[in-house]
Structures are given as structure tokens and as C-alpha cells.
Amino acid sequence: MVGRGYTIFDTGIGRCGIIWSSTGVVAVQLPEAREIDTRRRIFAVHPEAREQTAPLNTELAIEGIVALLQGSDPDFSDVSLDAGGVSPFNRRVYEYACTIPRGETRTYHEIARALGASGAAHSVAQAISKNPYMLIVPCHRVLEAGNYADRISPYGGVISKRRLLALEGAHPVASKTLFEVLLPVAPPRPST
């Protein structure tokens, strides 16, 4: 294989994409609203990638992603990632994210502290927002302070962290809806 390849595959949440090189998985693209939009996102970020039959390493990743989105707890440890374009700090963040157990979450601040960079919560947030390895590196388990779970990386498509955490059985997901935020401060209704 020369250059990068990609393929589109079915999952329980829609048609995902995966991009790879001879070194390993380059990126995972969660589904957009329409498959054509998923393909456009892949082409926008990886214009050199060509649709091909996935090699074994990528097939392992696809099987794990499909299983995870069906509620299983796959092991991605045998999946090689192409981290050629990833900074050393981001790699450390991704390695740490991979240690977060299914159904649990951590905040940006907790990860920064664990990495010995307690003032680097913003840098952790930036790394998570750039995670190209959706689901293989479970960035959806990393939340903002206050455990808000709505932001996801550009590879996230239309899927929210909240939905991915619910698929993993994370209960309760700490994010609050606008209704839940406003209800406690709403004035009481007069009795009639």
C-alpha cells in the first residue's frame, strides 16, 4: 500500500470511516448525518486517502469499534496507531485516556494532574479536542470541569460524548440539560 487508505463501515450508530497508513490507524471518523458528509469530512482532512480494503490492523480496529458501539468492552491494545503527526504531550494525554475504565470519566484537570502538569488543563482540553483516534482513544471519557459531556473532537460527527458514554453504561452522565439547570432557580408557582 502506498499513502493512506480509508474505508467506510457499518456500526450501531451509523456508517463510520477509518483512515490508515502503513504504520497504523491515522484517524477514525464517526458518522455525520449522511454518509456523503462522512466521506466529505474524510476527504477534507485526508485528501490523499483512497478507498481500499482494510489491512488486518485496521480490521482489528473496526471490529473493536463495532463491538464498543454495541455495548461490549473491546481491547484495542493490539491496534497500531500512526502517531507521526501527534505531539509528545498529546500522545501522553491519549495514553492516559486509554487507561480510563469503561463507564468512568475524568476531567481535563484530573488528567493534567496525573500527567504532572497540573496547570495544563487547557492543553489537555486541546489534545482531547484534536483526538483523531475516536473510540480507540476514548476521549469521550474526558470531560470539562463540571462534567459537561457535550463537546467532542472534529472527528466526532453528529455523535455527542453523552451518547457515547450512555452506550458504555456510564451512569449518571453528569451533564445537565438547560431544563435541569434552570429548574432549581425557577420561582415557585403560586398555589391556587
Residues 102-137 pLDDT 10s? 888 899 999 999 999 878 999 999 999 899 999 999
Q: How high is the pLDDT of residue 146?
A: 59
**All residues at 6 or more sequence positions from 19 whose CB lies less than 8 Å from its CB, including other chains:** 4, 5, 6, 25, 26, 27, 28, 29, 42, 46, 49
Dihedral angle of Cα 149, 153, 154, 159, to the nearest 10 degrees:
-40
**140 band by pLDDT with thresholds 50, 70 and 90:** confident
Q: How confident is the prediction for the chain on average, in pLDDT?
A: 84
Q: Does residue 182 register a pLDDT over 60?
A: no
As a whole number, mean pLDDT of residues 161-185 equals 59
How many other C-beta atoms can be found within 10 angstroms of the C-beta atom of residue 192? 3
**173 band by pLDDT with thresholds 50, 70 and 90:** very low
Alpha-carbon distance of 129 to 35, in angstroms, equals: 22
167 versus 151: which is more confidently predicted?
A: 167
Q: Does residue 9 register a pLDDT over 80?
A: yes
**33 band by pLDDT with thresholds 50, 70 and 90:** confident
Euclidean distance between the first and final Cα of the chain, in Å? 75
**Which of 51-55, 99-103, 154-158, 161-165 is predicted least confidently?**
154-158
Alpha-carbon distance of 121 to 112, in angstroms, equals: 5
- Answer yes or no: 98 catalytic: no
Output the nine-digit C-alpha cell for 159: 455523535
Q: Indicate the pTM of the whole model.
A: 0.81
84 versus 148: which is more confidently predicted?
A: 84
CA nearest to 4, candidates 58, 41, 64: 58
**All residues at 6 or more sequence positions from 152 whose CB lies less than 8 Å from its CB, including other chains:** 30, 139, 140, 159, 160, 161, 164
Contact by Cβ (8 Å): 116, 138 = no
Alpha-carbon distance of 20 to 4, in angstroms, equals: 6
The active-site residue out of 139, 142, 149, 165 is 139
pLDDT tens digits along 37-96: 999 999 999 999 999 999 999 999 999 999 998 888 899 999 999 999 899 999 999 999
The rounded percent of the chain whose pLDDT value lies above 90 is 58
